[in-house]
Amino acid sequence: MSLPGFELFSLYDAARGPLFLVACSVFILGFAWRILRFARLSSSIAARGRVPGAGVRLDAAALDSLSLATRRAQDRSEADRAFLLPDKGIVSRILFLGRRFLRNSNLAGNPVMTAFSLAFHFLLVLVPLLLPAHNILLFLGLGLGAGLSLPVLPEPLMDRLTLVILAIGLFFALRRIFLPRVRALTTGGDIAVLLLVAAPFVSAYLAYHQAWDYHGILVGHMLLGELLIAAIPFTKLGHMPFLLFSRLFMAGERSARHASRRWAA
């Protein structure tokens, strides 16, 4: 390319190829590092001969004889167990468990926040992934040719959804500023993270609408997107891997029933 855009274009080439791979590598390695830390800071309960929730030390044979179903039943109160007997009928049993689930979920106590949060998280991942522009660039950039692509959705729709993401991000920011309990927890880092997440979406929106200098904004978009991807494991955005491990492996009152690990002694 010619004239003033020249340096930008080499940055453009770097951003859509090698820098993207660097960002992804940092993301994956950072993720692995977090998982490793998790593994090293916890230890297996089964190895210690304990039944989660029972608080009784059993020998290995007794442990083996307890099926998962038995352990689950042991975890429930007597009243719950009575209610869950088969003669209650499947519908009322499901309703009972549903009510129990809702009562035990803090998201249900905040329906607006729940709806916004779910929408925000799903869109945050799905919109960039199912975007035609991304798919074309990704497969070209990886040298795989233009024939391959994930399923994509039409760009005008994605453009609207980008606005939805940004609107919910604004809702989070307002919550931070105006709700005393959220403000009491807010640090400069929280605002920075919100901006970090919003930045690729704002720049993408501006690029799509060809505001100002299209190429400059587009290169900015790519660099900001890559910054976000690389930063996830090292900021509080690392709550994604944490959640999985905390819920699936760590024994606790809200973890999955077969949780098998505890924080190391």
Q: Which residues bind ligand HEM (CB under 6 A)?
A: 15-16, 20, 113, 117, 121, 124, 127-128, 131, 133-134, 137, 155, 158-159, 162, 172, 190, 193-194, 197, 200-201, 204-205, 207-208, 218, 221-222, 225-226, 228-229, 232, 237, 239-240, 243
For another protein, the closer CB: 90 or 112: 112
Q: How far apart are CA 239 and CA 197, in angstroms?
A: 14
Q: How far apart are CA 259 and CA 246, in angstroms?
A: 9
Q: How far apart are CA 257 and CA 249, in angstroms?
A: 9
Q: What share of the chain is helix, strand, coil (3-state, %, to 5)?
A: 70, 5, 25
How many alpha carbons fall within 13 Å on the CB side of residue 151?
Answer: 1
Which amino acid belongs to residue 196?
L
Using CA atoms in the order 83, 88, 93, 95, what is the torsion angle rounded to 10 degrees? -100
Shortest separation between residue 78's beta carbon and ligand HEM, angstroms: 32
> Which of ligand HEM, another protein, none does residue 213 bind (CB under 5 to 8 Å by kind)?
none
Shortest separation between residue 172's beta carbon and another protein, angstroms: 8
For another protein, the closer CB: 96 or 245: 245
Shortest separation between residue 59's beta carbon and ligand HEM, angstroms: 37
Handedness of CA 17, 18, 19, 20 (dihedral sign): positive
Shortest separation between residue 193's beta carbon and another protein, angstroms: 9
Positions that interact with another protein (CB under 8 A)? 34, 37-38, 41, 104-107, 109-110, 113, 179-187, 190, 236, 238-239, 242-243, 245-247, 250, 252-255, 263-264
